Amino acid sequence: MAVETQDYRKYLNPSVISKLNSLELRARLVVEGFMVGLHRSPYHGFSVEFSEHRPYMQGDDLKDIDWKVYGKTEKFFIKQYEEETNLKSYILLDTSRSMSYFSEGNLSKLEYASTLVAGLSYLMLRQQDAVGLSLYSEKIDRYLPPKASKIYLREILKNLSEAKASNKTNTASSLHSIAEKIKRRGLVIIVSDLFDDINSVLSALKHFRYKKNEVIVFQVLDPRERNFAFGSDAIFKDMETEDEITTQPYQIQKAYKEAMIEFVSRIKTECLNSNIDYNLIETSMPFDKALFSYIQKRAKLF
């Protein structure tokens, strides 16, 4: 089912997508809505189809020149081989308990993140890139190595559909373990709320860069986690330790928001300093912001 031009925006809206039970259908509609929106946006002309040729450069073997292309353009282009044109992408999804949080009217962070990952996987395989999936909490719960087969999407979607927010967070340890599994450098995408010891997390993110991978971070947060808009009295329960505290939110709202701003700012700054693409995503946001960040990164790599 193709997305009608006039309806594409609704398929990027989390509240609409949440009504669909099929993760495969969610992924397809999100991507098709994104593609229609991309062509109708100020970025018109920004290509999501990537050429299998590159300009001839001094030192290239003359036998690799595509003479058919030369006949049409009178310019020299080299036909790229599969290992040059296909990108290996590794998507890492946090499935710890904190990802189960949601405020009224919004998807849980895990449900939003799973839909985003499904859309990214669909888009990557559509572009004939290889994509893999890792689910982690306090350890690596599932690791699917990158493959470029469209049939592989079913395996990825099956694992995403079965993912449950469970166990405590040990983001740093899990990311370090996954970094060691990656033998051929590629594009690493981390989707998480990053609620863990900040220094350890930053060290793990830099591990991927140390191994020459390109890295995109999507920090997924619920709007209420940022604005702390709770009622007059509330009981707060740690979703991982189950510790509880009763308080009046207005008494700590200012300090909380300052701490959250500092937390997010630190991650963003450290990512920038390490040439890591950082994106703050709220679960109320349309999915196209995240997809466009990936497309921009993908285009820069070729």
- Residue 11 pLDDT level (bands cut at 50, 70, 90): confident
Q: What is the pLDDT of residue 20?
A: 92
Averaged pLDDT for residues 143-171? 92
Q: What is the pLDDT of residue 35?
A: 86
Which residues neighbour 131 within 8 Å (Cβ) at sequence distance 6 or greater?
89, 90, 91, 120, 121, 124, 125, 146, 147, 148, 152, 156
Is 235's pLDDT higher than 70?
no
User: What rounded mean pLDDT belongs to the chain?
Assistant: 85
Is 142's pLDDT higher than 80?
yes
- Residue 240 pLDDT level (bands cut at 50, 70, 90): low
Q: Which domains, ranges and CATH numbers included, belong to the chain?
A: 55-82 (no CATH), 87-300 (3.40.50.410)
Is 242's pLDDT higher than 80?
no
Cα 231 from Cα 11, distance rounded (Å): 32
Averaged pLDDT for residues 269-295? 93
Q: What is the pLDDT of residue 7?
A: 76
Q: What is the pLDDT of residue 84?
A: 47
- Residue 40 pLDDT level (bands cut at 50, 70, 90): low
116-136 tens-digit pLDDT: 999 999 999 988 899 999 999
User: Which pTM does this prediction carry?
Assistant: 0.81
Neighbouring C-alpha atoms within 13 Å toward the C-beta of 138: 6
Is 289's pLDDT higher than 50?
yes
Averaged pLDDT for residues 42-62? 57
Is 105's pLDDT higher than 60?
yes
- Residue 6 pLDDT level (bands cut at 50, 70, 90): low
